[in-house]
Amino acid sequence: MKVIIFGINQTAQLAHYYLTTDSDYDVVAFSANEKYIEDMKEFCGLPLIPFEDIEQSHSVDEYRFFAPMTYRNMNNDRKDIYYKIKEKGYELISYVSSMATVFDNVKIGENCFILEDNTIQPFVTIGNNVVLWSGNHIGHHGTIKDHVFLTSQVVISGNCVLGENSFFGVNATIRDFMKIGKYSFIGMGCIIVTDTDDYSVYFPNTSPKKELSSLKLKL
């Protein structure tokens, strides 16, 4: 299946690497908004085509899209591009690493980017346009709604519901049966043991610097 990747940044480069080394997809081109392309004609050795004109050269019947964008603007930038691609009539693929553990009754939507060492337990439902960076645990009977981003080493215990557009920083931990409100920002290292409101923000307590030289430590 022929695929066009949206984007010209490191995430797009990573997506190209994963798809070409760990999938049956055939990446044939990249696309981006014309104002960001400037004089570029190629990216990763493949043609770079303005998104505004993409359907003129790559028909919706023959090509699929993949838009593996970051969490910028609480995932709204990725959400916006996702719907613009769908408005043009293209189908979007998902990538699930062969090195992820995904049980056979897990449901995964479109335009998901699921990297290595994720463990997704039985009876989990993952919506559309979700990114699971490497090394997360998604507990059984959980639901991840659309446009969510998990960074790495996040633990989502069983029976949790993650609201749309929510974000989870490195090493965040969510207790079982929690409901995370939409657009919640859960910072790295946070421990969540109660439901969160929509648009809520959680930051952890950071470790203070000690007034001591590391050379004084007896290690």
CATH number of the domain encompassing residue 63: 3.40.50
Give Cβ neighbours of residue 135 (< 8 Å, ≥ 6 apart). 116, 117, 118, 152, 153
Can you give the pLDDT at residue 151?
98
Can you list the alpha helix ranges (DSSP code H) found in the chain?
10-21, 34-37, 54-57, 76-87
Check whether residue 47 and residue 105 sit in a common domain.
Answer: no
Residues of the chain with pLDDT under 70: none
Which token pair is 30? Answer: 């990249």
**What is the rounded CA–CA span in Å between residue 8 and residue 39?**
13
DSSP state of 26: E
19 and 79 inside one domain: yes
Indicate if 110 and 182 belong to the same structural domain. yes
147 and 60 part of one domain? no
Task: Please say which residue of 54, 87, 120 terminates a domain.
Answer: 87
76, 19: one domain: yes
CATH number at residue 130: 2.160.10.10
What pLDDT, on a 0 to 100 scale, did the predictor assign at position 206? 86
Amino acid, single-letter form, for residue 19 = L
| Residues spanned by the domain of 155 | 96-204
Please give the pLDDT value at position 39.
87
Q: Per the domain annotation, does 83 fall within a domain?
A: yes
Domain count, the chain: 2
| Residue 215 lies inside a defined structural domain of this protein | no
Question: Does one domain contain both 111 and 171?
Answer: yes
How far is the C-alpha of 34 from the C-alpha of 143, rounded, in Å? 36
